[in-house]
């Protein structure tokens, strides 16, 4: 109900005062309808006259409610815009390849996107299924693209529990992979032995910061720029020559400077040295377990205010986990033997190639600064 004070009522036109004073019930005439129309017109007129006040929005919402959310927007578009790193994080994201059907990308994260779009299609109940529109872009640009509203979500083995500058306004789903962490690899046996000896001298079962600082001091350590490995090295390791690389393949090829050690996502490094770069070795404890500098959980990233989408994703991940589907997916990509180009040809997803950097350009490496950290 709208309150009118005496001065406001007296300042109204005669016809409008008559409308307000009319008896509430009249039968046998069109007066109620006319009165209702006049009343709505008066409300809209008052809203226009007091622009700048919150009542303008309130009045418009009374007539045309603003009813939309991120899930409804996806359903209306018939597309979900998904970001993915163009740099390989095998087996989560493999390098894009050319197939008979065109450019395709595959990996555990790609299969997860398939599950997401299938669930969205069921939720939207459209005549046509929801289509995933993949944008393969530089890892460090994924966060910017999301905050600028160009993506609905992105996924590329993103660490959900790693604080990082420049990631304001983002939110993370429940983890779909919780066995992650930062590990290291080296092609030099003497480096592996030196680090192992330092850990053996420590009384801790897991290497603490002081132990790793001593073990890594003087080494040239490469990390992919913008990843949790960079943030860890900058925060915890001193006395190293830190090298920032555009990708993991760039770190392998770096000759200026030559790399002693690469830090990165342990599951990615483990897959890489077992399947791709067998001349490198994973850093391990005496027990044979991989050396982990920290634990990480990988999650889907959304805008901070995409509450409905995030609840939808969390519910989907819960159901995939309870059904055993997530376990099967992890085993299929991390443990089975397969040729990823074949999987890309049969189950890979197309992507927006016009936004992708040069396919074979894995970037370069450069010293973080001119001083040892």
Q: What CATH architecture does domain 179-296 belong to?
A: 3-Layer(aba) Sandwich (3.40)
Q: At what angle do helices 108-124 and 307-322 cross, to 10 degrees?
A: 110
Rounded to two decimals, what is the model's pTM? 0.78
> For the chain, which residues make up each domain, given as ranges?
6-63, 70-178+297-355, 179-296
Instruction: Assess if CATH 3.40.190.10 describes domain 70-178+297-355.
Output: yes
Give the pLDDT score at 356.
Answer: 57
- DSSP H or E segment with residue 171: strand 170-172
How would residue 354 be classed by pLDDT, with cut points 50, 70 and 90? low
Q: How far apart are CA 368 and CA 273, in angstroms?
A: 25
Distances (CA, A) of 221 to 16, 186, 256: 79, 10, 12
Give the pLDDT score at 208.
Answer: 59
Q: How far apart are CA 307 and CA 300, in angstroms?
A: 13
Contact assessment for residue 344 and residue 338, using Cβ atoms and an 8 Å cutoff: no
Instruction: Mean pLDDT check: name the lowest of 104-113, 243-252, 273-282, 355-364.
Output: 355-364
Which is higher by pLDDT, 20 or 304?
304
Q: Indicate if 179-296 has the same CATH topology as 70-178+297-355.
A: yes
Give the pLDDT score at 72.
Answer: 93
Q: Per-residue pLDDT tens for 301-328?
A: 999 999 999 999 999 999 999 999 999 9
Residue with tokens 């760039």: 250
Whether the pLDDT of residue 288 is over 70: the answer is yes
Q: How far apart are CA 134 and CA 128, in angstroms?
A: 18
Q: Per-residue pLDDT tens for 117-168?
A: 999 999 998 778 999 999 999 998 999 999 999 999 999 999 998 877 777 8
Q: How far apart are CA 364 and CA 246, in angstroms?
A: 6
Closest CA to 105 of 127, 120, 90: 90
Give the pLDDT score at 351.
Answer: 86
Distances (CA, A) of 95 to 84, 213, 254, 294: 11, 34, 19, 26
């Amino acid at each position: 109900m709208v309150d009118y004070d005496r001065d406001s009522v007296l300042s109204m036109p005669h016809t409008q005062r008559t409308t307000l004073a009319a008896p509430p019930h009249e039968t046998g005439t069109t007066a109620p309808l006319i009165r209702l129309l006049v009343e709505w017109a008066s409300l809209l007129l008052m809203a226009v006259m007091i622009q700048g006040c919150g009542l303008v929005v309130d009045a418009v919402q009374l007539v045309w409610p603003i009813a939309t959310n991120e899930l409804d927007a996806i359903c209306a578009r018939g597309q979900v815009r998904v970001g993915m790193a163009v740099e390989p994080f095998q087996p989560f994201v493999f390098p894009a390849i050319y197939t008979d059907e065109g450019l395709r990308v595959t990996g555990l994260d790609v299969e997860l996107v398939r599950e997401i779009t299938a669930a969205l299609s069921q939720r939207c109940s459209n005549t046509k299924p929801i289509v995933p529109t993949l944008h393969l872009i530089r890892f460090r640009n994924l966060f910017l693209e999301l905050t600028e509203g160009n993506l609905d979500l992105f996924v590329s083995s993103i660490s959900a529990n790693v604080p990082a500058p420049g990631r304001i306004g983002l939110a993370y789903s429940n983890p779909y992979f919780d066995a992650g962490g930062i590990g290291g690899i080296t092609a030099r046996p003497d480096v592996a032995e030196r680090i192992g000896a330092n850990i053996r001298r420590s009384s801790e079962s897991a290497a603490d910061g002081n132990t790793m600082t001593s073990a890594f001091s003087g080494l040239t350590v490469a990390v992919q720029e913008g990843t949790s490995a960079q943030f860890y090295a900058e925060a915890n390791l001193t006395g190293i020559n830190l090298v920032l690389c555009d990708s993991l393949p760039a770190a392998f090829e770096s000759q200026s400077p030559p790399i002693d050690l690469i830090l990165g996502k342990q599951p990615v490094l483990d897959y890489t040295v077992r399947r791709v770069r067998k001349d490198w070795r994973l850093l391990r404890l005496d027990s044979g377990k991989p050396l982990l500098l920290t634990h990480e959980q990988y999650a889907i990233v959304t805008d901070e205010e995409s509450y409905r989408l995030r609840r939808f994703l969390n519910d989907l991940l819960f159901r995939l986990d309870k059904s055993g589907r997530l376990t099967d997916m992890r085993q299929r990509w991390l443990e089975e033997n397969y040729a990823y180009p074949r999987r890309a040809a049969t189950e890979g997803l197309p992507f927006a190639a016009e936004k992708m950097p040069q396919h074979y350009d894995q970037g370069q490496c450069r010293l973080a600064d001119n001083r040892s950290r």
